[in-house]
Amino acid sequence: MNKLIALVWILFTGVCMAQPVDSARGIDPSVDYQSLKGYAPWDDRNYQLTANDLALLAPNEAELISPVPVFFRVLYRQENPSTARTGAVQYPRSLLNYYKMRFDGYLIDGLLFNHLDYISGQGYEIKLVSGQTQSQLIETAIRGLSGNVQVNGPGSAAESAVVYNPDDSQIVIAGFNGSGQDMYFSSDGGDTWTESPALSGNTCCDPAMDWSSDSGFAYVVTLGGSQVWFYRSDDNGQTWDSLEDITPGDDRRELEGPNNGVLDDKEYIHVDRMPGSPFLDNIYVTWHQGNIMQVAVSSDFGNTFTMNSFPGEPTGIGSDITTDAAGNVYHFWPATGPREIRLNISSDGGTTWAPSTVASDTVASFDWPLPSIDSRRAFLYVSADTDLTGGPFNGRMYASWTDTTEPDNNGNASVNHSVIRVIHSDDQGASWTESIPHETDDTDDVDRWHQWLKVGPDGTVHVAFYDTRSFVDRSGVDFFTSFSVDGGVTWSAPERLTDVSSENLPDGFEFGDYNGLDISADGGIAIFTDSRDETGGGGTSADVYVAPLVIDTLEEEFFQTGFEDPLPPPPAPVQ
């Protein structure tokens, strides 16, 4: 059986079999390349290693159980010379994530594979499954999405949110303001979308979604009437009537502050999905009623809620909630009067709350006009998340918001300038450090606004936001993303996600109030309002798009900063 026939047989039978190593292919005759399989799964890029390269490995390298090929271990040590060479813990637990982001998979005879089998007593073997060439796998394996994808059908839509199923990143749910509260689902990572049946009742807007810890339920909150309405799905967002299993004829729960009839607004939802948390699967919903902050808590998968109101706290709008590994709950909001980001904490699952503290001052108060959003105006809200990865910044808490560089002038868009701010804390909010996730020498010429922040499964912090750099007069936007691999201290150069810029729409709603972002182990997805013309002329409208965060490319650029890659490019695919 010749080589080509063997490869075809492997691709279509999907078996696990040993990868033969031919030491004659190696560049250093003194190296026993076969022995490198004793450390980790084989990858043909190991053939480029020399004895000097292998001298960088730890004396106990074979004991460092990780499915990361030796060539990448060497490269990591070359680029990070302070990496330990003794002990049981030397590499970050995210090393495999970085490897897959950077090199897409295990290279065997010009083909890339992403699956492993662990054979007791023998170690890892590549599971050679499904027929993808190297170029095909690079195109699809990490990115998920193929480009900018319009989610909504004909008609205007804005103010969107998006969430991955935590166990399957091919399953995605999106929600946005359209004809009421519109809900969509995708089973292919966001490349195509299907609209769910309409939520019951006269829904308005402001979607927010999350999942239960076992992915059995998806949750969405929206505004209905003057209340916050909560719905549950047990089929990955295809329908939202799961609560009828408990209360036939009633598929939602109506959450309301203490003043019946006063408008509830700007809600967000968070689920404690941390294994070991004493409040695992608690659902937290935050919003304001007449600018007084409210929090509702459910400990029975959304069947019942307990309400909390904070009339003694500074008033505000634009809140978010995150939790830590111990189940402590952190509730953030911008206090518009004193111009502060406020934080109050619950250590008993949202039953009682400590008085709030100041996490940061803000320059702006509530909203302000910019040339790119002069009628709806940019809006100061908080997006928060916590690192629960077990990595070097485990437990670090993050909050982000849009702010101005100088006190806002509410009557003159041209003199306002907008930036994104991020703060982080390692001591449960007792102290904070600030950074800015984009360039700072151009803030008189470029505005950034309406951010969202998420911590990825490898601890990388991602922020997505509008950016006006493509418009000299700051009148239009693109959607950009930036990331930090050192716990929010420094940030990558922002990367453009949109493939078409959006001009300011001459209406009172423009781009709405916010956008969304989620990160999985396989990639990221951003969702945003977009005003591109899909008709070829005269068809501009506010629509909702998603775009992939090309995390493999972004991480590679950051990872290689200041270093030369000693390895040649992989061989061309077998023809």
Are 125 and 166 in a shared domain? no
Say if 180 falls within a structural domain: yes
Integer CA distances (angstroms), 469 to 158, 482, 500, in order: 22, 15, 13
- How many residues in total does the chain contain? 575
Q: In the structure encoding, which two tokens stand for residue 528, read together?
A: 């945003």
CATH number reported for the structural domain that contains residue 540 in this entry: 2.120.10.10
Q: How would you classify the pairing of strands 461-467 and 448-455?
A: antiparallel
Residue 526 placed within a domain: yes
For residue 47, what pLDDT is reported? 92
Q: Are residues 129 and 155 in the same domain?
A: no
157 and 117, same structural domain? no
Assess if residue 203 is contained within a domain: yes
Name the β-bridge partners of 359.
Answer: none
Based on the fold, state whether residues 476 and 523 are members of the same structural domain: yes
Domain span at residue 135?
3-141
Pairwise CA distance, residues 464 & 451, whole Å: 5
- 205 and 61 within one domain: no
Give the pLDDT confidence score for residue 540 in this predicted structure: 74
Q: What is the pTM of this model?
A: 0.73
Domain termination site, one of 81, 106, 141: 141
Last residue in a domain, options 108, 141, 174: 141
Rounded to a whole number of angstroms, the CA Rg of the chain reads: 25
Residue 544: CB atoms within 10 Å: 30
Please indicate, yes or no, whether residues 112 and 212 belong to a single structural domain of this protein: no
Say if 256 falls within a structural domain.
yes
Q: How far is C-alpha 406 from the geometric centre of its chain's CA atoms?
A: 30
Residues linked to residue 528 through DSSP beta bridges, in sequence order: 545
The answer to whether residue 567 sits within a structural domain is no
**pLDDT digits 0-9 by tens, 305-351:** 999 999 999 999 999 999 999 999 999 999 999 999 999 999 999 99
| Contacts of residue 242, Cβ cutoff 8 Å, sequence gap at least 6 | 217, 231, 232, 233, 234, 235, 251
Residues 96 and 180 in one domain: no
pLDDT of residue 16: 38
Is 570 domain-assigned? no
Element (H, E) at 100: helix 95-103
Looking at the fold, whether 330 and 405 belong to one and the same domain comes out as: yes
Q: Are residues 166 and 131 in the same domain?
A: no
- CA dihedral in degrees (423, 425, 428, 429; nearest 10)? -40
Does residue 199 lie in a domain region?
A: yes
Q: Would you state the pLDDT for residue 550?
A: 65
Residue 128: the pLDDT is 52
**What's the pLDDT tens digit per position in 176-206?**
998 889 999 999 999 999 999 999 998 988 9
pLDDT of residue 65: 66
Q: Are residues 186 and 323 in the same domain?
A: yes
Q: Give every CB contact of residue 102 below 8 A, 6+ residues apart in sequence.
A: 72, 552, 555, 556, 559
- The residue among 75, 151, 70 whose CA lies nearest residue 107 is 70
Task: Note whether residue 573 is domain-resident.
Answer: no
Q: What is the pLDDT of residue 507?
A: 74
Whether 163 and 259 map to the same domain: the answer is yes
412, 501: one domain? yes
**Spans in the chain with pLDDT lower than 70:** 1-18, 65, 87-89, 91-98, 100-101, 104, 114-146, 535-539, 550-575
> Which residue type occupies 234?
D
Within 13 A of 32's CA, how many CA atoms are on the CB side? Answer: 6
Quote the tokens at residue 341.
């980001």
Q: For 397-431, what is each residue's pLDDT tens digit?
A: 999 999 999 998 877 899 999 999 999 999 999 99
The domain boundary, picked from 103, 120, 141, lies at 141
Sign of CA dihedral 57, 61, 64, 69: positive
d(CA 313, CA 356): 7
Structural domains in the chain (count): 2
**Helix or strand (DSSP H, E) at 125:** strand 123-127
